[in-house]
Amino acid sequence: MSDYAVIDPSTGERVEEFEVISEQDLASAIGSAHEAYTTWSRTTTAEQRAALIRRVAELHVERKDELAEIIVREMGKPLAQAVGEVEFAADIYAYYADNGPGFLADEPIQVD
């Protein structure tokens, strides 16, 4: 099976290689995702899921330098832009953590 290589576009250096996923592993991953959808996502509240998304935002902020360095290596972006991208992603996660439960709340519909 062939490999997938991550190349640093700014240097041309091969950073890391990964094996391409097998059909069996892909089917297993899809099965796991489907299981999570039909069980966990149906048994947790919007507030519980929002708390997890809030934690993702916090982790992005805590690890922004590390994440930005990955972006630089994999995409060739300047470091300042990569940091900005991580911070922007954290803001998006925080927005949905703050507003997601409200977006999903039932709304009365007036029928005349």
Tell me what the mean pLDDT of segment 7-11 comes to.
Answer: 83
Residue 41 CA to chain centroid, in angstroms? 17
Residue 88 has a pLDDT of 98
pLDDT band of residue 9 (cuts 50, 70, 90) is confident
- In tens, the pLDDT along 37-82 reads 999 888 999 999 999 999 999 999 999 999 999 999 888 899 999 9
Spatial separation of the C-alpha atoms in residues 8 and 66, rounded to whole Å? 16
> Which residue reads 């954290």 in tokens?
90
Which tokens hold the place of 109?
A: 């519909």
Helix residue ranges per DSSP H, the chain: 23-38, 40-43, 46-62, 64-75, 79-103
Please give the model's pTM, rounded to 2 decimal places: 0.77
Which tokens hold the place of 112?
A: 């005349």
Residue 49 has a pLDDT of 95
